[in-house]
Structure formats: structure tokens, C-alpha cells
Amino acid sequence: MALHEALNAAGRVPGPIVKSIAAGDINVTRTYSDRFDLDVAPAIPCTDAFGVIVQLRDFDTHRLWRRGELVYEGGHAKASLAITDLRDQWQCHHLSPFDNIRFHIPFSRMRAFAEEVGRSEYMALACVQGRIDPVMHGLAQALLPSLDDPSDANPLFLEQINLAMLAHLSQTYGGLHFPVDKKGTLSPWQERLATDFLASHFNKPFSIGDLASRCGLSRSYFNKAFKESFGRTPSKWLTEYRVARVKEMLLLDLSIAEVSINCGFADQSHMTRVFTSLTGDTPARFRRKNRTFGVALDPLMV
């Protein structure tokens, strides 16, 4: 029997050890334990935030519940990442030793970051489980000294780590596009004008040519520059924005046909095709799942 198993059997291994530090409105927590017999952890309170968990060691097995339903049973490798939407209720039962770092990131912080870097189209992080992410693992390790001694932590260092983390997460899991070569892209004022214009015209007809002329560009050059700036065409950007607005309106007391018209689709069947292709759910199924549990969605964050 391994040493930690022997200590565990003798009741000499402590329960989970928790160390936390706050950097602005982002909270970072390290939790670790060598026990095999921990009780089911309390449910995580629902909040408008993402939880991002990085495993610092191999984690053999655990059970994870979402809204009271078992959704995962198994382990995660060292350096793996999990992203959860904390508007849902989550609960975990650790069944083997573990060591992880959790970032609690409010939606408002993600939105503010996106706007600060000129990406007001930002919508959400993809929720993933068990994906190896060396970048997040490295950033988590860099925070270990600060977690061990929060009183000696450098606030500027913590803020820089947070900015690096937000940039990586938003680009890798949030769909933000940061062009490496600025040549052939829109200028910052053109990016802002274009996204503001598209957002304000998401449910009414307009001309891309008119938008291009407002930016002082030909239509063909505008389309190419927009794609270089945002990693998608204006049409694709607008479609994703419309689907985000559909998600919001599906939680209201409107018929699906009314939602389709209000969000600029030709009819309900058109909206259903587009919505299903992007989300994997029909509008009706999305409404049933989310209204049942009273989830309040922000159109910019879903």
C-alpha cells in the first residue's frame, strides 16, 4: 500500500487544502488533497461567471453533476483544462487525490476585456472537459508562489497573468480573432463602426456596400479586411450575433415564429436551420432545457 493510502486509511491525511487569492474581480483558488474518501463537495453556487479548472497532477477519477444529473465520471490528465458555465449548478465528488487551480471569471470581466481589445462581438467560452492546455498549465503554475503567500503577491504580476489568461481563453475557446499581421485589416475605428453597425442592424435589411462606404472602403476591400480583422466574414459575424439574440429571446414569452422575425430571419424554418447548425439544438429544445431551470442568459455571453 502506498504511503498516502496508508495514511488515509489511518485517518492521518487531512481533508482538502484550499488556498485563494483575488486579482481584481477574478478569484484564483488552489485545492488539493491526497485522500480517496472525501465526501461529495457542496454544490457550487450559481453565478454569472465561468469556472476554469487546470489540473496540476493526474486526477484519476471523480463524478460531476450538472443540475443534479451525472454528466461525467472519470479522470483528467495533468495540464488538462475544464471550462464550466456557472449559471448552471455544478457538484463534484472527488474519488482520488487531486491538485487543481480554479479561475472564477465573471462574465462582465470577459466582456470588458473583449471591449478593451476592440472585440465587442465576443460571446462566450466553449465549455470543454479534459482538454490538454499547456498555456493554462504554465500560467497556473506561475501563480503557485502567490497562492502560497498572498501577502507577498505582486498585484501587477497578478494582473499581467490575468490578461495573458483572458487573451488565451478568449482566442482559443471564445472565437476571438487577433490577427498576427495587421496589414490588410480594418483600423480600430473601422472595426468599432462595423461591429456597432452590424449589431444595430441585426434584425433589419441593410447593404454591406453602405457599411463599406461608411468605413471609406470599397465593398470588396471591406469584406477582405473585415475577415482579416475578425477571422470571419461580415455575414458570418452577423449570423453568430443573431443566434446569440435568439437565445435571449427564447427565454421570453414569445412564440418561436415571433423570435425568428424579431431576430431578422426570413421565417421560423430558416431560423431553425441556422440555429441548429451553430448550436446543435433546435430552438424548441434549447428553450425547454434553459427555461426549465430558469437560466437567465446575457445575449452577449451565450
- Predicted local distance difference test score (pLDDT) of residue 214: 93
H helices present in 80-187, as ranges: 107-116, 134-142, 144-148, 155-172
Mean pLDDT, the chain, whole residue set = 86
Contact indicator for 142, 103 with CB cutoff of 8 Å: no
Residue 180 clears pLDDT 70, i.e. is over it: no
Average pLDDT over residues 230-237: 89
Q: Which residue has the higher pLDDT, 170 or 290?
A: 170
Average pLDDT over residues 272-277: 93
pLDDT band at 291 (very low <50, low <70, confident <90, very high): low
Interacting residues of 11 by C-beta distance below 8 A, sequence separation 6+: none
Note the pLDDT tens digit of each residue in 236-246. Answer: 989 988 888 89
Residue 286 clears pLDDT 90, i.e. is over it: no
Note the pLDDT tens digit of each residue in 52-78. Answer: 999 999 999 999 998 888 989 999 999
Note the pLDDT tens digit of each residue in 168-177. Answer: 998 888 877 7
- Predicted local distance difference test score (pLDDT) of residue 83: 93
Rg (C-alpha) for the chain, rounded Å, is 22
Helical (H) or strand (E) element with 71: strand 69-76
Average pLDDT over residues 25-38: 94
Residue 205 clears pLDDT 90, i.e. is over it: no
All domains of the chain in start order, with CATH:
3-172 (2.60.120.10), 188-292 (1.10.10.60)
What is the distance between the terminal CA atoms of the chain, rounded to a whole angstrom?
48
Residue 204 clears pLDDT 70, i.e. is over it: yes
Q: pTM, whole model, 2 decimals? A: 0.70
Residue 233 clears pLDDT 60, i.e. is over it: yes
- Predicted local distance difference test score (pLDDT) of residue 87: 85
- Predicted local distance difference test score (pLDDT) of residue 88: 85
Task: Return the exposure string of 175-198: e unless at least 16 CB atoms fall within 10 Å of the residue's CB, then b.
Answer: bbbeeeeeeebbeeebbebbbebb
- Residue 196's φ and ψ, nearest 5 degrees, are -65, -40
Interacting residues of 175 by C-beta distance below 8 A, sequence separation 6+: 122, 123, 231, 240
